[in-house]
Amino acid sequence: MRKMDGVVAIIFLLMAAALFGYNLTHREAGSLVEIAKDGQVVQVERLSVDQTIRLEYDDQTNLIEIEDGVVSMIDANCRDQLCVHTAPLKTVGRAIVCLPHRVSVVIKGEGDQPEMDAISE
């Protein structure tokens, strides 16, 4: 490898690190939590209100906690428990999914809500 190739590679790596750092520090904090079962939204809550939400369908139970602007799945009676071990969420677009129960918890921004039109009213 020639000297110029090394310089180009270092510049490229520095630019990639700078972009990664910028994206890491400038994420939009979400304001809403959208909870869906079987793809249908069943509940929308504010991230600013601390609460515990219990979803029960048949013999399926999911316990979702909103506290200090983050949301997490604190308990579920599913067999794999992947949803419970998912890190707490606070940025727009992040999701917790319980596949066995077909439940999803998604962070939304204030502008993500669908607008009402004449047909949906």
Nearest to 57 by CA among 44, 74, 71, 43: 43
Q: What is the SS3 assignment for 117?
A: coil
Specify the pTM: 0.68
pLDDT tens digits along 27-76: 556 689 999 999 999 999 999 999 999 999 999 999 999 999 999 999 99
Distance CA(107)–CA(79), nearest Å, equals: 25
Distance CA(120)–CA(105), nearest Å, equals: 24
Distance CA(121)–CA(33), nearest Å, equals: 23
